[in-house]
Amino acid sequence: MSRIGKKPIVILDGVKVNIDGRVVNVEGPLGKLSYEHRPEVSVATSEDGKSLVVDRFVDDRFGRQYHGLTRSLLQNMVVGVKDGYEKRLEIVGVGYLGQIEGNVLTLRVGFANEIKKTIPPGLDVRCPDQTHVVVKGCDKQQVGQFAAEVRAARKPEPYKGKGVRYQGEHVKIKPGKSAT
């Protein structure tokens, strides 16, 4: 039995869950999310209606894999519509900056041209100052994906540490040529 898959998902206050066949709709104060699960697993609400239970039909490899995966995705949806997810990025380097113009995040990170990233709908992206970017949203995957794309615009380099990094990320600095 999957250790993760057999745990029930507690439905938080203010969150509504609707199961329509294989489609699970979760609605909360921060938005709506929908997920269609695989046919190897089933999702049902408990008798009291305060938790979700994920069960699998078959005990083969794919059934076991999708059992835990489905439970984790539904847990992330319930937490996301209630509290939301957030990623913070730092822009490190002389002259490096980020700013938002409409629904476009513009990054100046040492290239000849500015890098422009269109902000997907459903995400709240802010620049409290020119060297920080905050990505918020109810979909954990979408928040992480956009933050990773922004970081990939200029990954932190190992000699001076310049680039875009997650807040609190440690970048190991190499000594360079003069260290011999």
Mean pLDDT throughout 46-51?
Answer: 88
* 118 and 162 belong to one structural domain: yes
Which structural domain range is residue 107 located in?
A: 85-167
Residues 80-131: pLDDT tens digits?
Answer: 999 999 999 999 999 999 999 999 999 999 999 999 999 999 999 999 999 9
Inform me whether the pLDDT recorded for 179 exceeds 70.
no
Domain boundary among 82, 107, 130: 82
**126 to each of 42, 79, 87, 143, how far by Cα in Å?**
38, 21, 11, 13
Residues 3-42: pLDDT tens digits?
Answer: 888 899 999 999 999 999 999 999 999 999 999 999 999 9
Residue 148 falls inside a structural domain: yes
Return the pLDDT at 5.
86
Residue 15 falls inside a structural domain: yes
What secondary structure does DSSP assign to the chain, as a single string? --TTTTSPEEPPTT-EEEEETTEEEEEETTEEEEEE--TTEEEEE-TTSSEEEEEES--SHHHHHHHHHHHHHHHHHHHHHHT-EEEEEEEESTT-EEEEETTEEEEESSSSS-EEEEPPTTEEEE-SSTTEEEEEES-HHHHHHHHHHHHHTSPPPTTT--EEEETT---PPP--GGG-
Residue 3 falls inside a structural domain: no
Return the pLDDT at 134.
97
Return the pLDDT at 86.
97
Total tally of structural domains belonging to the chain: 2
* 68 and 96 belong to one structural domain: no
Residue 66 falls inside a structural domain: yes
Inform me whether the pLDDT recorded for 63 exceeds 60.
yes
The pTM (predicted TM-score) of the whole model is: 0.90
Q: How confident is the model at residue 2 (pLDDT cuts 50, 70, 90)?
A: low
**68 to each of 7, 81, 128, how far by Cα in Å?**
9, 20, 37
Mean pLDDT throughout 152-170?
Answer: 94
Inform me whether the pLDDT recorded for 158 exceeds 60.
yes
Under 8 Å between Cβ of 21 and 30:
no
Report the CATH number that the domain containing residue 27 is assigned in CATH: 3.90.930.12
Return the pLDDT at 3.
82
What is the distance between the alpha carbons of residues 90 and 98, in angstroms, rounded to a whole number? Answer: 10
Q: Poorest-confidence range of 21-30, 44-53, 68-77, 135-144? A: 44-53
Return the pLDDT at 6.
87
* 48 and 74 belong to one structural domain: yes
Inform me whether the pLDDT recorded for 154 exceeds 80.
yes
Q: Which long-range contacts (CB under 8 A, 24 or more apart) does 41-47 make?
A: 41/5, 41/66, 41/67, 41/70, 43/19, 43/70, 43/74, 44/19, 45/11, 45/17, 45/19, 46/8
* 57 and 93 belong to one structural domain: no
What is the distance between the alpha carbons of residues 150 and 123, in angstroms, rounded to a whole number? Answer: 13
Inform me whether the pLDDT recorded for 47 exceeds 80.
yes
Inform me whether the pLDDT recorded for 1 exceeds 80.
no
